[in-house]
Amino acid sequence: MPRHANTPTAPERSSKSARVRALLAGGLVLGIGIPATTLAAWTDSEYLTTSVGTSRFDLESRSASAPTFASHVNAAGALALGMPGGFSPGASRFAYADFRTSTDSTVGGTVQLTGQTITVTSGAAFTAGDLSYRIASVAATASCDATTMAAATTWLGSTAGAFTAIGEVGTTNLTVPVAAAAATPVRLCVEARLSASAPSSYQGRSFDLAWVFTGTSAS
Amino acid sequence: MRRRLLLIAAVLALVAVPAGSATGAGWSDTEVATAPAVSMATIPAVTGTVCTATRAGQTTVTWPAPTSSVALGQPIFAAQSTALLGPLLDTLLPLNPANFTYTTTGSTNTVVFKAGLLDGLLGGLVGANFYYAIQNVSAVGDWRGPALQLHLSIPPLVGTPTCVATP
């Protein structure tokens, strides 16, 4: 019977078997070697932790009409400043607003006047500049009137007591400081004035005045 | 290649800086304060008048003192004869502010004025009006209230004068 051409001879089979055993042995060495290294050392861990928090800054205000400090963040919930009585030529109306941070505020900062608007609710619009205002930072318990304003030295949004037209915001003396944790409220006295040359046709008109103050924390 | 890396680095720097600035600016909070329903003063009109006149043309007008949010000055008067001969009568016996007497007692104001003598004798018509204005009106412009019109009619020789006030 003739030998098949692909059938290995006995020495060939022996050589192949040896190669397979060598590969298996190598695999064992590689497979066992790594865990053997791990098992050769002790392991231990250290965990570090710290309590990290953010600062808190919450501005509050009050007025004679609303004497309890609270947040008034938008027009719908605005702080009410009472300005009773009618404007007449050359006459002023006064109202104060006190500012502070909330009791849980951890940082102080500054208060800046960032907006002023007028909404006429009855009658025609006014000529620009006929209505104007100025704001002074005064003593915390000072009354807000002509005498206080005449003696004021610290102004917000103006210099030396200059008036700013209603609808505009001044560009000088932009901020006043406020302390953290409700300390040392700041009183801002607002004076609104009608020009002495205002025409008689203004009689009886009604309007709302609004001021927007932006507080910025120190850190 | 190097220029491309520098460009990318510059872009990243621009993106990163605003975020850092915002953090550095701190927290912000808004407070809104409003003075609602602020109003302009209204100068009141003269109302509630009682007007009496005599044959001699003496006319007395009384009315309650008005309330106002602003200080008012004395009423301001103007009067003239309105009969056909009125201008002539006014020339002969002119009505002028000096002819008026204004007094105030408590809450009642009174003004007395006298028409020209010939108005009383020949009959005539006298028109007057008066109104309030802000005190020191000349200093603050022309802020005045609505004028009250008085029409005094004196029949010739006999009859009772009439005085009608028209707002």
**What does the alpha-carbon distance between residue A136 and residue A187 come to, in Å, rounded to a whole number?**
8
- Give the confidence band of B120 by pLDDT, cuts at 50, 70, 90: low
pLDDT the model gives residue B90: 54
- Residue in chain B nearest A196 by alpha carbon: B140
Structure-model confidence comparison of residues A144 and A50, the more confident one: A144
Q: What mean pLDDT comes out for the span A34-45? A: 70
User: Which residues are B53's β-sheet partners?
Assistant: B59
pLDDT above 90 covers a percentage of chain A that reads 69
The answer for A 166-205 residues in CB contact with B (under 8 A) is 190, 192, 194, 196-200, 202-205
CA-nearest of A172, A164, A173, A177 to A216 is A177
**What does the alpha-carbon distance between residue B132 and residue B111 come to, in Å, rounded to a whole number?**
13
Q: Using an 8 Å Cβ cutoff, are B166 and B151 in contact?
A: yes
For the whole model, what pTM was predicted? 0.72
**Any CB–CB contact under 8 A between A214 and chain B?**
yes
Q: Using an 8 Å Cβ cutoff, are B44 and B66 in contact?
A: yes
Render pLDDT for A169-200 as a digit per residue (tens, 0 to 9). 999 988 999 999 999 999 999 999 999 888 88
pLDDT at A25 over 50: yes
Q: What mean pLDDT comes out for the span A142-147? A: 97
pLDDT the model gives residue A5: 44
CA-nearest of B125, B117, B127 to B147 is B127
- Give the confidence band of B111 by pLDDT, cuts at 50, 70, 90: confident
User: Which residues are B149's β-sheet partners?
Assistant: B129, B166
Distance from CA of residue B102 to its chain's centroid?
19
Please state the length of chain A: 219
Q: Using an 8 Å Cβ cutoff, are B57 and B126 in contact?
A: yes
Render pLDDT for A95-136 as a digit per residue (tens, 0 to 9). 999 999 999 999 999 999 999 999 999 999 999 999 999 999
CA-nearest of B75, B44, B62 to B163 is B62
Both tokens assigned to A95:
């109202």
Interface residues of B toward A, Cβ cutoff 8 Å, are 25-43, 69-70, 134, 139-144
pLDDT the model gives residue B104: 83
Q: Using an 8 Å Cβ cutoff, are B83 and B124 in contact?
A: yes
pLDDT at B84 over 70: no
Mutate to test the interface with A, among B38, B72, B138 (most CBs of A within 10 A): B38
CB within 8 Å: A86 and B33: no
Render pLDDT for B126-150 as a digit per residue (tens, 0 to 9). 777 778 887 655 554 578 888 888 8
pLDDT at B94 over 60: no
pLDDT the model gives residue B112: 85
CB within 8 Å: A211 and B142: no
**What does the alpha-carbon distance between residue A1 and residue A154 come to, in Å, rounded to a whole number?**
123
Q: ∠B113-B116-B121 over CA atoms, to 5°?
A: 120
Both tokens assigned to A29:
């060495």
**What does the alpha-carbon distance between residue A219 and residue B7 come to, in Å, rounded to a whole number?**
33
CB within 8 Å: A89 and B33: no
B contacts of A73 (beta carbons < 8 Å): 29-32
Compute CA distances B159 → A191, B85, B123, B156, whole Å: 60, 20, 10, 7
Please state the length of chain B: 167
pLDDT the model gives residue B10: 46
CB within 8 Å: B27 and A91: no
pLDDT the model gives residue B74: 76
3-state secondary structure chain B: CHHHHHHHHHHHHHHHHHHHHHHHHCCEEEEEEEEEEEEECCCCCCCCCEEEECCCCEEEEEEECCCCCCCECCCEEEEEECCCCHHHHHHHCCCCHHHCEEEEECCEEEEEEECCHHHHHHCEEEEEEEECEECCHHHHCCCECCCEEEEEEECCCCCCCEEEEEC
Q: Across A59-205, where does the E strand assignment appear?
A: 59-63, 79-80, 86-87, 92-101, 109-122, 131-138, 154-155, 164-165, 175-178, 186-194
